[in-house]
Chain A
């Protein structure tokens, strides 16, 4: 069964460094998402992406964040200058073009630790 994959599974970085989290969505999917989950808290929406542009973003998704689909398969989340509070599990999700109702398929997540 096709699945969303994410790399790396765990990333440790120092405060102020740039990180890029990578996702490979399911191949025929055209909508892409990033969510994050701070340890012990709820999953929060960051951004949705369709047709090579951001569809919607949350207040969390400030100028330090960016997303890109550099080729036909990868979907990336970049954090330009990481802060301690960016430590969280980051989930990528994707869905196909079929209309409502739909299911978002989630990847296994990347645990980001900022020290």
Chain B
């Protein structure tokens, strides 16, 4: 079955540094999406990358996708304390989203 696994599970950095999170999955996908979740709150959609795309940018976010390795990475540049949250990748082949285990990012001021 599809399964997203993120690494690292937790990441602590200083403000201004870049944060890179990785996601691996097991089966074919149509798209891969990244979501953010502040502690105990809802999911906020960050970015979607199609299976035929290799890289996508949105503001300080950069997402790459390597379908041959079944992996994706999310880079947050020039991190801010407000970026502290959990980040999840989610893949879809059918209509449902399959979420990864998430990376807990802590950005210290």
Chain B's interface: helix, strand, loop or mixed, by majority?
A: strand
A contact residues around B90 at 8 Å (CB):
43
Q: Is A65 an interface residue (CB 8 A)?
A: no
Q: Is B30 an interface residue (CB 8 A)?
A: yes
Beta-carbon contacts under 8 Å, A56-72 to B? 56, 58
A89 to B31, CA, bound (A): 25
A56 near B96 with CB under 8 A, answer yes
Q: Is A33 an interface residue (CB 8 A)?
A: yes
A56 to B98, CA, bound (A): 13
Over the window 47-82 of chain B, the binary record of Cβ atoms lying under 8 Å from chain A Cβ atoms (1 yes, 0 no) is 010100000000000000000000000000000000
Over the window 85-98 of chain B, the binary record of Cβ atoms lying under 8 Å from chain A Cβ atoms (1 yes, 0 no) is 00010100011111
B95 near A31 with CB under 8 A, answer yes
Over the window 86-115 of chain A, the binary record of Cβ atoms lying under 8 Å from chain B Cβ atoms (1 yes, 0 no) is 000101000000001101111111010000
Interface size in chain A (residues, C-beta < 8 A): 24
A48 near B96 with CB under 8 A, answer yes
A101 near B30 with CB under 8 A, answer yes
Known A-B contacts A44-B99, A56-B94; the reply to A109 vs B48 at CB < 8 A is no
Known A-B contacts A42-B88, A101-B31, A101-B50; the reply to A56 vs B95 at CB < 8 A is yes
A106 near B30 with CB under 8 A, answer no
Rounded to whole Å, the gap between the CB of A5 and the closest CB of chain B is 10
List the A residue with the shortest CB-CB distance to B50: A101
Residues of A within 8 A of B (CB): 31, 33, 35, 41-45, 48, 55-56, 58, 89, 91, 100-101, 103-109, 111
Residues of B within 8 A of A (CB): 4, 30-31, 33, 35, 40-45, 48, 50, 88, 90, 94-102
Residue pairs across A and B with Cβ atoms less than 8 A apart, 28 shown, are A31-B95, A33-B97, A35-B97, A42-B88, A42-B99, A42-B101, A42-B102, A43-B43, A43-B97, A45-B96, A48-B96, A56-B94, A58-B96, A89-B40, A91-B43, A100-B50, A101-B30, A101-B48, A101-B50, A103-B48, A105-B45, A106-B35, A106-B44, A106-B45, A107-B42, A108-B42, A109-B41, A111-B40
